[in-house]
Structure 1
C-alpha cells in the first residue's frame, strides 16, 4: 500500500503524463466529449477514483481521464459521476434544437439515476457556456464551415447523436440555418 502524503505538492507526477493522455484521448475531454485546445482549454489529468479515496491509484494510468479544467473542477472528489469508460452508447442523448443532454428514457434504473447524477454534477445543462459550446460546434457544421468528419473528431457526442437520430442531413433546417 502506498502511504498517503500529507500534501500532494511536489508529488504531482501524473502531470508528466498529460501530453500522452492528451494524445491518447485524441484531445477530447472524457466528460464533455469536446475538443480541448491545448493552450486555452486547459487540459488536465482527472483521477477518476479520487486521490483522497484511493491514494494508491494516484499514479496509475488506468485511473487517469483527460478532462478540461472546468469538468475536473466540478467532479473534484465526488464519486457520483459515471466513468466515461463504462458509459454505453445511448445512455445520454442530445435534444435538438435545445442541445440539452438528457437521460435516455429506455434505459434501466439504476443507470438512469447515474446518468442524471453525472449531468447534474458536471452541470452539463446548467452552465450556459457548456450549452453554448455545443451550439458553436453544431452551428459551424450547419453553416458548412466544418465537415461532419471534423465534427466527429472535435465533438464526437454531437456527431454520434446526429447519426443516431438520423439528423446529419436535416440538422441545418432544424436549427434554422439555411
Structure 2
C-alpha cells in the first residue's frame, strides 16, 4: 500500500448519491438491509476515474471488467450507516480486496498511511512492515497485510510478479509501471533498483 490522496467529490454527487441516501436513512437510521438502496454505486465511475483506476489496497490497476472495481466503505455501513453515502468514506477497491476487508476495522486507511510504512522485498515481492516504524504502527501494518492476504494469497504475489517481469523484459516503460502498479514502481525508486532490477529478477 501507498498513501492515497483524497480527491474532491463530483459536482453532482449530492443529487445522485447523498440526497437519495439521506432520504432513505431518515426512514431507517440503522438499516438491516441495503437492497435497492446502494446509491453509492452511482458514483463508481467517478471514483474509478478520480483514483486513476488503481485499487487503494493492492495499489494496482483494476481492469474495468475483469478486475471488478467496487466502492469500499472504509468505515463499514454497519458501524456508521450515516457515512454510507459520503464520498469521503469511499475507497476504490478491487472486488477481492473489498471482500476481504468486509466490516473488519483492522485495515489501515489509505488516506492516512504515510510513505514507507509498507515496503516491498525483492526478489520475493513479499510486502513487509518497515522495521524502523514504532511498534504500534508496525503492528497495524502487519494486521493490514494479514487481513488483506497481500502475501498469503499466491495470486496477489503472482500479480505483482507479472507486472514487474513485464517491466524487466522491457514490454513497457517505467512510466507505465508507475501508472499501473505504483507501489512496485515506488519501491524500485526508493531502493534505487530501477536500473538493476532485471538482474535481481534474473531476467537476461
1:110 alignment partner, SS class: helix
> Is 1:118 matched with 2:137?
no
1:72 alignment partner, SS class: helix
Alignment correspondent of 2:89: 63
Q: How does 1:94-105 map to 2 (within 5 A)?
A: 94-105=120-131
> Is 1:159 matched with 2:182?
no
Divergent runs of 4+, >4 A: none
Pairwise CA distance, 1:150? 0.2
Q: Gapped runs of 5+ residues in structure 1?
A: none
Alignment correspondent of 1:20: 46
Partners of 2:187 and 2:90 in 1: how far apart?
A: 26
1:52 to 72, 78, 83: 78
Alignment correspondent of 1:11: 37
Q: RMSD of the TM alignment (CA)?
A: 0.8
Give the alignment's TM-score, normalised by structure 1: 0.99
Pairwise CA distance, 1:155? 0.2
Pairwise CA distance, 1:5? 1.9
Pairwise CA distance, 1:62? 0.2
Give the alignment's TM-score, normalised by structure 2: 0.86
2:159 alignment partner, SS class: helix
Q: How does 1:60-99 map to 2 (within 5 A)?
A: 60-99=86-125
Pairwise CA distance, 1:149? 0.2
> Is 1:147 matched with 2:170?
no
Q: Gapped runs of 5+ residues in structure 2?
A: 1-21
Pairwise CA distance, 1:6? 2.6
Partners of 2:154 and 2:123 in 1: how far apart?
A: 15
Pairwise CA distance, 1:4? 1.8
Partners of 1:140 and 1:14 in 2: how far apart?
A: 35
Pairwise CA distance, 1:18? 0.2
Higher-RCO chain (CA-CA 8 Å, sequence separation at least 6): 2
